[in-house]
């Protein structure tokens, strides 16, 4: 190893220690000198020590690095124990941080520089976010933890053993694929759930509408509609939330379809984008007109509950099987019938089924144009059904606003569809 490379790698070792030491030193800045076991300089030297020990081990053998790490850990832990006994502090975070700083300093000399630096940044970020992480953990309920753990166990234990092939006579049901897609959709929905729980009404209608669109725009419409009966003065804001959730739903449909079948991007993007812009403009008008005087708190059920994942998997499989059977019996007309019926409640299952079948058009004899029209039909029916829900569960003020903008969005999407080339 050339001297220039040695110096550059040792510089990274020192920089790793300085980065961690900056966070540790800032956290203990109120303490008097010589009253803390480790601060800015100690962690900086720890990183450099790891680098020097690794450099010596390259020439004298790996035992040098092992001995240096053992001695460093013993000395660091001893001083931290004295500090902990004086302050009655049982935290081992600083000891772990010191050990990892030493090892990352060594890794910068003997291993990958970028990986060592990235690990140092990640460690510093975790140390700096201590209070935020503690608050987040404290806010979790046992039901949420149990649901997440159960789903993770089912995913990593069950998914590998599920047959990754079609198991029905019609070639429509792949258990491995269906369960994987259910997990992915549930994970996307969980992002919206976390956003609503973390921020709630503080960020108002915009956040709850966006998060609701990620989780379930239908559930968002029903929730805002019910709130509309209790808060008639917030009809404009609630309408904006419903329209914003519809906008996010359109984006979600596009992402899911294109990820599963990239060939659908060209025919799907124009109509979905046109309808989404119309919905977003309507939401902006209502938000601008009434401001943030009301911020209803949208409550969304935990989408990572095992029951939700199982229902979603069953729905995806049922729609896929029904669509295939009706397509065999009635051709494209059967597919459109399934799209219209499923769009009343949900669009994800139909989108997944159509995108997957469209990707296999050569062997399934299903053209991309049929898949695109089925997806758009489901979206249109879902938009109309949510308009009816908003009018039925909420006040007439909400119904009129949502209906007007939704009609404009459907018109914009239909116009874009006319000028969209199909494969």
**Cα 260 to Cα 348: distance, rounded to the nearest angstrom:** 12
- From the DSSP assignment, how many helices (H) and strands (E) are in the chain? 18, 0
Looking at residue 167, what DSSP letter applies?
Answer: -
Q: Are residues 259 and 286 in the same domain?
A: yes
Give the domain-ending residue among 70, 103, 135.
135
Q: Are residues 386 and 309 in the same domain?
A: yes
**Cα 197 to Cα 387: distance, rounded to the nearest angstrom:** 26
**Cα 70 to Cα 62: distance, rounded to the nearest angstrom:** 13
Q: Are residues 120 and 218 in the same domain?
A: no
Instruction: Output the pLDDT for position 201.
Output: 44
**Cα 300 to Cα 211: distance, rounded to the nearest angstrom:** 9
Q: Are residues 365 and 395 in the same domain?
A: yes
Give the domain-ending residue among 106, 135, 164.
135
Q: Are residues 151 and 221 in the same domain?
A: yes
Please answer whether residues 251 and 214 qualify as being in contact, where contact means their C-beta atoms are separated by less than 8 angstroms: no
Query: Domain for residue 192, yes or no?
Result: yes
Q: Are residues 186 and 243 in the same domain?
A: yes
Q: Are residues 123 and 207 in the same domain?
A: no
Calculate helix-pair angle for 396-418, 368-393, nearest 10 degrees: 170
Query: Domain for residue 330, yes or no?
Result: yes
Calculated CA dihedral for residues 299, 341, 349, 333, nearest 10 degrees: -160
Residue-by-residue pLDDT tens, the chain, 423 positions = 678 888 999 999 999 999 998 888 787 666 555 555 567 888 899 999 999 999 999 888 888 899 999 999 998 888 778 777 766 666 678 889 999 999 999 999 998 889 999 999 999 999 888 888 778 777 777 767 776 777 677 778 777 888 878 777 776 677 877 777 666 556 655 555 565 566 654 455 667 677 667 766 776 777 777 777 766 777 787 788 889 888 988 998 888 888 878 888 888 889 999 999 999 999 888 877 655 454 554 455 555 555 666 666 676 677 667 766 776 777 667 778 777 777 766 677 677 777 766 555 444 444 677 778 888 888 898 888 888 878 887 778 888 999 999 999 999 999 998 887 765
Instruction: Output the pLDDT for position 364.
Output: 44
Alpha helical stretches, state H, 111-129: 113-128
Query: Domain for residue 185, yes or no?
Result: yes
Listed as own residue / partner, the contacts of 360-367 with beta carbons closer than 8 Å and 24 or more positions apart are: 364/171, 364/324, 366/327, 366/335, 367/423
Q: Are residues 122 and 223 in the same domain?
A: no
Please answer whether residues 23 and 127 qualify as being in contact, where contact means their C-beta atoms are separated by less than 8 angstroms: yes
DSSP symbols for 322-339:
HHHHHHHHHTHHHHHHHH
Q: Are residues 238 and 276 in the same domain?
A: yes
Query: Domain for residue 423, yes or no?
Result: no
Instruction: Output the pLDDT for position 112.
Output: 85
**Cα 192 to Cα 262: distance, rounded to the nearest angstrom:** 25
Give the domain-ending residue among 120, 135, 150.
135
Q: How many domains does the chain have?
A: 2
* Prediction pTM value: 0.54
Instruction: Output the pLDDT for position 410.
Output: 93
Q: Are residues 169 and 242 in the same domain?
A: yes
Q: Are residues 53 and 93 in the same domain?
A: yes
Query: Domain for residue 44, yes or no?
Result: yes
| Domain boundaries, position 17 | 3-135
Query: Domain for residue 121, yes or no?
Result: yes
**Cα 366 to Cα 170: distance, rounded to the nearest angstrom:** 14
Q: Are residues 238 and 369 in the same domain?
A: yes
Q: What is the largest CA-CA distance in the chain?
A: 83
């Amino acid at each position: 190893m050339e001297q220039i490379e040695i110096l550059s790698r040792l510089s990274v070792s020192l920089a790793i220690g300085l980065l961690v030491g900056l966070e540790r030193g800032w956290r203990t800045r109120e303490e008097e000198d010589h009253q803390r076991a480790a601060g800015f300089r100690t962690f900086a030297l720890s990183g450099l020590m790891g680098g020097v020990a690794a450099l010596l081990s390259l020439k004298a053998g790996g035992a040098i690095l092992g001995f240096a790490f053992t001695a460093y850990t013993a000395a660091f832990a001893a001083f931290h124990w004295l500090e902990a006994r004086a302050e009655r502090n049982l935290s081992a975070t600083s000891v772990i941080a010191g050990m990892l700083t030493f090892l990352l300093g060594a890794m910068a000399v003997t291993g990958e520089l970028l990986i060592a630096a990235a690990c140092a940044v990640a460690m510093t970020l975790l140390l700096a976010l201590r209070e935020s992480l503690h608050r987040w953990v404290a806010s979790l309920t046992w039901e949420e933890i149990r649901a997440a753990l159960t789903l993770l166990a089912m995913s990593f234990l069950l998914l590998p053993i599920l047959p990754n092939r079609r198991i029905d006579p019609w070639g429509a049901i792949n258990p491995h694929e269906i369960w994987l897609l259910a997990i992915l959709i549930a994970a996307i929905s969980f992002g919206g759930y976390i956003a609503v729980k973390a921020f709630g009404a503080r960020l108002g209608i915009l956040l709850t509408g966006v998060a609701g669109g990620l989780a379930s725009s239908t559930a968002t419409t029903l929730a805002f509609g019910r709130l509309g009966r209790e808060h008639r003065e917030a009809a404009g804001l609630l309408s904006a939330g419903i329209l914003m959730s519809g906008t996010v739903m359109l984006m979600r449909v596009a992402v899911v379809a294109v990820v599963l079948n990239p060939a659908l991007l060209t025919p799907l993007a124009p109509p979905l984008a046109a309808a989404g812009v119309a919905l977003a403009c309507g939401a902006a008008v209502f938000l601008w007109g009434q401001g943030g005087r009301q911020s209803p708190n949208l409550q969304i059920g935990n989408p990572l509950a095992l029951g939700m994942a199982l229902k979603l998997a069953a729905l995806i499989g049922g729609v896929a099987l029904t669509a295939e059977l009706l397509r065999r019996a009635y051709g494209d007309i059967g597919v459109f019938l399934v799209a219209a019926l499923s769009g009343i409640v949900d669009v994800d299952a139909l989108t997944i089924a159509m995108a997957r079948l469209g990707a296999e058009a050569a062997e399934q004899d299903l053209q991309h144009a049929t898949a695109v029209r089925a997806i758009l039909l489901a979206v249109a029916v879902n938009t109309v059904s949510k308009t009816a829900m908003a009018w039925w569960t909420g006040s007439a003020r909400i119904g009129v606003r949502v209906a007007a903008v939704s009609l404009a969005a459907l018109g914009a999407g239909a116009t874009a569809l006319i000028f969209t080339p199909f494969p």
